[in-house]
Amino acid sequence: MNTKLRLLPLKLLLLIGLTLMINGCWDSSDLGSGAYVTGIGVDYINGQYVVYTQMIDFGAVAKSEEQKTTRPSVWVGRGKGKSINSAIEDIASTAQTSMNLEQIKVVLIRQPAMIHLDAILDALNRVRVARYTAWIFGTKDSILELFNGGSFFGKSELASLLYNPKDQGMKSSFIKSLSMQNFVSAFNEEAMTALLPSVKINNKIWKKNKEKMPIEIIDGIFTFKGKEDIHHFPLAHLIGIRWMNSNFQRHVIVISAGGNLASLAVRNVKYSIKTTIKDGQPSFLLKLSLTGELNEMDGELGIAAINKEVQQVIKEEILQTYNYGVKKKVDLFNLNESFFRYHAKEWKKLQAAGGWQPSNNDLKVQVKFTLKNSGGFQLK
C-alpha cells in the first residue's frame, strides 16, 4: 500500500507530461492546417475601411525549407465595412474555415486610412499577439501588391522585408523598424513625433528569368504629431536620421580634401542631447562621438584632415535633415521629447501657449570622429 502511495506522484507527473506532449502535437498540427492570418492591411475608401488579410500555408513553409521546393502559396482576402471588425467579418464569411488572428506578424496601413489610425490601432490592439510583436509599416502603394511581393529562391513571405525587417532591407536602411508596441507608445505620447517606416514595391532592380521581380523596399517615413498632423518624408531628405538610429551598425562615407578622395566605414555611434532654456524657449546641443576605419584612398591625406572632413559631412547631413523638418514644421529628431523629459515645467507652460515649434537656430551639432584603423594606408 505504501509503495502504491509513493508511486502515485510519479504517475501523476507522467500523466501531466503526456498531456502536454499531446497538446503540443495538437497545436503543431493546427498550425500546419489552420487558417492563420499572418498579415493585415488597412485602407480607407469612400467612407469605409478596406481590410486585407494575408494567410501563409505554414505546412508548405516547413516543406519548402526542408526540400527547397517552390514558394509556398499566399492567400490575400479583401473585405470592407464601416468598422475594422465588420471588414474582417466580411472576409471571414467566405474563408471556408475559421480565421485565427493570433499569428499576426505584420500590420500595414495605407496613407488614406492614417487619419483614422487611432481607431485602427484600438481595434488591432485587442489582438494580443499583434499588440506586442507585430511589425508595423505605412505605405502609399497597393496593399494587395505588397502582400504578393516577390522572394528569392522559393522562400516564403516570412523571409521578406515585411516579416523580417532586421535581417532584410532595414539592415542597409537607416530607418528603424518598429513593433506595434513601440509605435503605439510614441503615437500616444504628446511630446513625441511618431516615425512610421514607409514601404513600397520596387520592380526596377531585380529580375527572375528575365521577368521583373517586385521587391519590398523602405522608401521613407510617415510622421505623426497629435494623431492628425501627418506627413510623408522620402529617404533623400532623411539621411541625417541614420546617426541617431539605435540600430546603427555601419555606414560608408566618401570624403574629398584638396583633390584627394577617401572612403571610410563609420561605426560605433554614441550621442547625447542637452536642452537649455532661455526666456522660456528651448535650444538643443547634439553631441556625437563616432569611430571608423579607412577603406580606400586616392592621393594623400592626413589623419587630422580625414577626421575633420568626416565630422563636417556628418554635421551637414544632420542639419540638412533637421532643417527640412523645420520647413515642414516637423520635429524629426524628437527634440521636443528631450525638452519634456528634462524640463517638464517649462514644457507644460510652453505647451499651454501652443507648444514648441522647431526653428533653424534651435539645434547646434558637435561631432567628434576618431579614425581607429588606417587600413594599411600610409597617412601623413
User: DSSP states of 337-360 as a string?
Assistant: HHHHHH-HHHHHHHHHTT-----T
Residue of 371 and 17 predicted with greater confidence: 371
Q: How many C-beta atoms lie closer than 10 Å to residue 206's C-beta?
A: 13
Same domain, 197 and 246: no
Q: Which percentage of the chain shows pLDDT scores above 70? A: 78
Whether the predicted pLDDT of 66 surpasses 60: no
Q: Could you tell me which of 170, 164, 289, 278 has the C-alpha nearest to residue 218?
A: 170
> What pLDDT does residue 17 have?
46
Report the C-alpha gap between 243 and 49 in whole angstroms: 37
256 within domain boundaries:
yes
Is 291 contained in some domain? yes
**In a shared domain, residues 48 and 94:** yes
- Interatomic CA distance for residues 280 and 278, integer angstroms: 5
* 194/331 same-domain check: no
Q: 296 with 378, same domain?
A: yes
Kindly state whether residues 182 and 295 are assigned to the same domain: no
Q: What angle, 0 to 180 degrees and rounded to 10, lies between the N-to-C axes of helices 2-33 and 58-67?
A: 90
CA distance linking residue 160 with residue 92, whole number of Å: 25
Look up the domain containing 264 and give its range: 240-380
The residue among 209, 237, 265 that closes a domain is 237
Q: What cell was used for 66?
A: 526542408
Q: Are 193 and 334 in contact (CB under 8 A)?
A: yes
Confidence of residue 169 (pLDDT cuts 50, 70, 90): very low
- 158 three-state secondary structure: helix
Is the domain of 90 the same as that of 154? yes
Closest CA to 301 of 377, 372, 231: 377
Cα–Cα distance measured from residue 303 to residue 34, given in angstroms and rounded to the nearest whole number? 61
* Residue 265 three-state SS: strand
- Kindly report the CATH number assigned to the domain that includes residue 256: 3.30.300.210
pLDDT for the residue 205: 65
Q: Does residue 102 contact residue 127 with C-beta atoms inside 8 Å?
A: yes
Q: Which of 237, 267, 287 is the last residue of a domain?
A: 237
Contacts by 212-220, CB closer than 8 A, 24 or more apart: 213/150, 214/145, 214/148, 214/149, 214/150, 215/149, 215/150, 215/161, 216/146, 216/149, 216/160, 216/161, 216/162, 216/169, 217/161, 217/169, 218/161, 218/169, 218/170, 218/173, 218/175, 220/175
Residue 11 located in a structural domain: no
* 121 neighbors 187 (Cβ within 8 angstroms): yes
In a domain, 209, yes or no: yes
195 and 280 fall within a common domain: no
Query: Which is more confidently placed, 92 or 110?
Result: 110
Q: Is the pLDDT of residue 239 over 80?
A: yes
What number is the average pLDDT over the span 291-295? 92
Per-residue pLDDT for 15 more than 80? no
Query: Does residue 377 surpass a pLDDT of 60?
Result: no
Three cell numbers written together for 17: 507530461
Higher pLDDT, 112 or 124: 112
Confidence of residue 14 (pLDDT cuts 50, 70, 90): very low
Higher pLDDT, 73 or 9: 73
Whole-angstrom distance between the N-terminal and C-terminal Cα of the chain? Answer: 91
Same domain, 315 and 232: no
Does position 363 have pLDDT exceeding 90, yes or no? yes
Q: State the total domains in the chain.
A: 2
Say if 357 falls within a structural domain: yes
Whether residue 89 contacts residue 22, with contact meaning beta carbons closer than 8 Å, is answered with no
Confidence check: pLDDT of 281 > 60: yes
